[in-house]
Chain A
């Protein structure tokens, strides 16, 4: 790292494991060479009373053999947080009425998935979600994108009847968090939702 420019350290935090931020590969990394160069932390027992695994997950195996596709999650412009408010607004729900997965047409072709087909996304945790494929060149061929605002379905099963009477949002769908991978922040214990792997197949 160069000590100037946009990436310069703004502060030294002497109570953090990394006194200034350094790159560490996610536990489920598509790049074994980078894992060797930028390994994660040692396992941390009693991390806010939870035994939290880091290196033991990363070194367990080459996760990318079984789960070759990068999984990223993010926001939609018309939605907010878990979407409870925005999915309950008819005009906002209309803009994204169902859960989907942005997938590059090249990657989709390798799996026989067409635009608008349903597809399964499997995570290393053993969970899966069933979502609609949405062709987009805004994702490269090595990754898929999931919006993080949906709920109401779980692993292909419609659970929206469990909403209190009269409170079911206009838009319901699989939650992206069902397939995000194991991993927690070393300081705050926040879950890892942005750097994960998955396996996709046509539903």
Chain B
């Protein structure tokens, strides 16, 4: 028997760089402007056939480097694979930022001298260690949509269904089906209606 492992995947053949995911995230969790839990990155902008965009946030690694380097052990990994941390334990040292290959950990800058506060990152809309859907959890970590059986807000908002989230196996099946129906590699034809809404 295998257990679900929650994973994000952004299909760069579908992402249209609309930033709907990052704005939805910031709005849903009422983040300060300096915090970017999710970012859309475009590479090779304007280079025909090579341009692609993808949406990046915490990838909720199986063997999370942030968890391994944390000197105060504030990280914990849920049974479904979501990597979370306890803001009341975090000391804001920034080790996790150096360890993270995706630049996911975010640090609020409190004042003119740039002293950093405790780390903030994508929770896959699963809140934190505080009681589920409590005011304290909401204030520190934002919405807990997973507890309500909802899809994380970024993927729910994605207009082209480029951003997928769920059990790694399901995500992989959806992507496999897409690749089988349209091929794999860099963009060779314009993104169109049939790609978005066809099979």
Contacts and interface: CB of A to CB of B under 8 A. Distances in A.
Nearest to B45: A136
Contacts of B169: none
Given A77-B17, A77-B18, A90-B33, A137 B47 contact: yes
B97 interface: no
Contacts of A137: 44-47
Contact of A91 (B17, B23, B44, B47): B23
Contact of B46 (A77, A92, A94, A138): A138
Interface in A167-200: none
Interface string B21-47: 011001100000100000000001111
B19 interface: yes
Nearest to A134: B45
Interface string B2-21: 00000000000000011100
Interface centre among A77, A91, A94, A95 (most CB of B within 10 A): A91
Given A136-B46, A137-B45, A137-B47, A94 B33 contact: yes
B126 to A, nearest CB: 22
Interface size class of B (residues with CB under 8 A): 10 to 19
Contact of A95 (B23, B27, B47): B23
A91 B18 contact: no
Interface string B42-61: 00111100010000000000
Interface string B172-185: 00000000000000
B45 A77 contact: no
A92 B26 CA distance: 10
Nearest to A94: B33
Contact of A92 (B23, B44, B51): B23
A78 interface: yes
Interface in A113-164: 136-139
Given A78-B23, A138-B46, A139-B46, 15 more contacts: A77-B18, A77-B19, A91-B23, A91-B27, A92-B23, A94-B26, A94-B33, A95-B19, A95-B23, A137-B44, A137-B45, A137-B46, A137-B47, A138-B45, A138-B51
8 cross-chain pairs, A with B, having the tightest CB-CB distances, nearest first: A138-B46, A137-B46, A91-B26, A91-B23, A137-B47, A136-B46, A90-B33, A77-B18
